[in-house]
Amino acid sequence: MPKQKAMFTKRVSGCGRGGGRGGGRGSMDGGGGRPFKLKLNFSASSRASATPQPEESPVEDEGLPTVPAPAPITTRGGRAVHKPQYSGVVQGSDYERATDHSSIGHRLDDEDDYPSRVQSSSPLRTYAHAAPGIISMSQQKCKQGRPRKNAPLNPALNNFYEEDVPFSTFAPPSPRPDPGVFKASDEVYVVLNALRSTPTSPIDLPGLINAKDAHQPQPYSAKFLTDLYILCYQSKCWHLCDMIADTWIRAFHAQRRNGQKNPAYQTWRPNTALERRKRDAQEAKRKGIPDLHPEFDTHAPDYGLEAADPELDEDVTAMHTDLLNKLYDHTDKQCGARLLWADALALSGDKMEKAIESATKRGHALHADLLFNIMQTSLRMLRRKLTLKIEESTEGAWCRRYHEHAKYGRVCYRKVACDEEKEGERVMEGEGGYGVIADDENEQANLEAMEAFMQAELARDDGQGKKRMFEDVEYGEVSGAKRVRFDGGDVDAEGDSE
């Protein structure tokens, strides 16, 4: 039985003028004031009967059931409590109410009943407007709390250094124009024809002499050497292409020796394994141990030929973007000279990285295939004690990667020259002569024939009464100039060699 509270009321009679208690006007009912008793019931059942409650059963509206509204949540002071509105969070009864609402077949087919569908163009946002309780799986995984404005997709990208980002992401290179048809100068054709006219296979380039000063040789420039290689490549003179490639490699080796003496001339990164191999081979030779081979590639053929390179400019081993792009524009993807220059640039390491970045910023971007070949070589060398073939000192080790003869079913020009030399020695020995003399006579005959041919070519007029001229000189002639002996003094490194 609910607890009741009783209240009593009593009319107090006023006092008469006579001052006596109970005098004056009499109370109601003619007697003393009778108290009234009022009973108030504050039970929950009485409050429930007095306060209207929402109906328990759903009310049908056009055949669609409705969800009863929940009772408001209030604090002790009577203020309504509002739930925090997070963009990607759903809790408790909201999730159950949303799933119940979607599981009974409630479809959003009538656009008139839901105008928000017409205003929104995104399907995800449209569905969120129509049914706020339904969220996606990506929203459920979000942490509680309002996300930071303008948050990046990957917070780790905020902390980066400029040197960690390739320069190509800042300024992509512009597309290269059509290279067109290659055109070489007349002097390049003169040298090519002279090399073709020799009776034996040449193993080195002829020397160039300035006609103004016969005692001063005219060195080969980087442009002249590059144009000569492209002309030989397009003329399918594969032996001459291989000879020019070997000339480039020997020039890189000469620069490497200069860099070991003076760090100012250092271009390639030091190969500690190669230097250790060299010291071990020299120590074994002093002790009389001939078994330690100074080269890593012990199976590379060595024909015993000594090439005497002509005078070369110091810039023949430098990175000329226009010349390298020209070389890549007029050769195939499997050209040996391409791989030669890619390996040479990759060995320069971070110095070449800065040079390429600086050239690109100035608008002299390298060929895309050249950058790809440099990347391939760099990835092969990553975390490995790898010695590239261009670092080998035995010239027979250069054939497989940098020569063209094997691609067309031919033997190396050095083997052809070696066989011709042996044949000349055998003939001279049969006639009672000496092989060494025969070798010297053959070389001298080749030089004289080449010099006579070049002088005849240069003496001809070009149709305008002018003689053919070499680059940067008034006129010139070529001959068997003073030669620089290449002794192959470098030894290879230990480890893998590719």
pLDDT of residue 413: 93
- Average pLDDT (53-61) is 51
More confident residue, 430 or 379: 379
Q: Residue 129: is its pLDDT beyond 70?
A: no
Contacts by residues 374-381 (CB-CB < 8 Å, ≥ 24 positions apart): 374/342, 374/345, 374/346, 376/342, 377/342, 377/343, 377/346, 378/346, 380/498, 381/346
- 24 has pLDDT over 70: no
- 148: burial class by Cβ within 10 Å (0-12, 13-18, 19+)? exposed
Which of 104-118, 123-137, 401-415, 426-440 ranks highest by mean pLDDT? Answer: 401-415
Of 8-17, 80-89, 254-263, least confident by mean pLDDT is 8-17
Q: Is the pLDDT of residue 327 over 80?
A: yes
As a residue count, the chain comes to: 498
Flag whether pLDDT at 377 surpasses 90: yes
> pLDDT above 70 covers what percent of the chain?
50
């306060």: which residue's tokens?
51
Task: Label residue 339 by pLDDT band (50, 70, 90).
Answer: very high
Q: Give 242-295 pLDDT, tens digit per residue.
A: 999 999 999 999 999 998 888 888 889 988 887 787 788 778 878 887 777 666
pLDDT at 485: 36
pLDDT bin (cut points 50, 70, 90) of residue 183 is confident
The two beta strands, 308-309 and 484-485, are antiparallel
Residues 88, 78: Cα–Cα separation, whole Å: 29
Helix (H), strand (E), coil (C) string for the chain: CCCEEEEEECCCCCCCCCCCCCCCCCCHHHCCCCCEEEEEECCHHHHHHHCCCCCCCCCCECCECCCCCCCCCECCCCCECCCCCCCCCCCHHHHHHHHHHHHCCCCCCCCCCCCHHHHCCCHHHHHHHHCCCCCCHHHHCCCCCCCCCCCCCCHHHHCCCHHHCCHHHCCCCCCCCCCCCCCCCHHHHHHHHHHHCCCCCCCCCCEEEECCCCCCEECECHHHHHHHHHHHHHCCCHHHHHHHHHHHHHHHHHHHHHHHHCHHHCCCCCCHHHHHHHHHHHHHHHCCCCCCCCCCCCCCCCCCCCCEECCECHHHHCCCHHHHHHHHHCCCCCCHHHHHHHHHHHCCCHHHHHHHHHHHHCCCCCCHHHHHHHHHHHHHHCCCCEECHHHCCCHHHHHHHHCCHHHHCCCCHHHHHHHHHHHHHHHHHHCCCCHHHHHHHHHHHHHHHHHHHHHHHHHCECCCCCECCCCCCCCEEEECCCCEECCCCCCCCCCEEC
Q: Which amino acid is at 179?
A: P
> What is the predicted pLDDT for the residue at 226?
96
Distance CA 373, CA 370 (A): 5
Of 178 and 432, the one with more pLDDT: 178
pLDDT of 137 > 90? The answer is no
- The pLDDT value recorded for residue 386 is 85
First to last CA, the chain: 102
Least confident stretch, 146-155, 163-172, 236-245, 314-323: 163-172
Q: According to the model, what pLDDT value does residue 75 have? A: 84
Selected residue with higher pLDDT from 40 and 110: 40
Between 109 and 440, the more confident residue is 440
36 bridge partner residues:
9
pLDDT tens-digit map of 451-483: 666 666 555 544 444 444 444 333 333 333 333
Give just the sign of the alpha carbon dihedral 457, 462, 467, 472.
negative
Poorest-pLDDT segment among 21-30, 76-85, 146-155, 279-288: 21-30
pTM exceeds 0.75:
no
| Mean pLDDT within 374-382 | 93
Tokens of 448: 């004289």
Model confidence at 333, pLDDT cuts 50, 70, 90, reads very high
Separation CA 91–CA 133 (nearest Å): 10
Q: What are phi and psi of 39, to 5 degrees?
A: -105, 125
Tell which wins on pLDDT, 393 or 441.
393
The closest of 255, 323, 311 to 490, measured between CA atoms, is: 255
Residue 436: the pLDDT is 45
Say what the pLDDT of residue 199 is: 86
Strand partners, 497: 387
Query: Tokens standing for 340?
Result: 């030669």
For 341, half-sphere exposure in the C-beta direction (CA atoms, 13 angstrom radius) is 27
Can you name the residues that pair with 496 across neighbouring β-strands? 386
Nearest to 260 by CA among 9, 5, 489: 489
**Listed residue (496, 493, 498) closest to 280, CA to CA:** 493
pLDDT of residue 429: 56
Average pLDDT of 110-134? 42
Average pLDDT over residues 144-157: 55
pLDDT at 389 over 80: yes
**φ, ψ at 158 (rounded to 5°):** -70, -30
- Mean confidence (pLDDT) of the chain: 70
Task: Residue 356: name the closest of 162, 165, 167 by CA.
Answer: 167
Segment 328-353 mean pLDDT: 94
pLDDT given for residue 458 in this prediction = 57
Give the mean pLDDT of 184-200.
Answer: 90
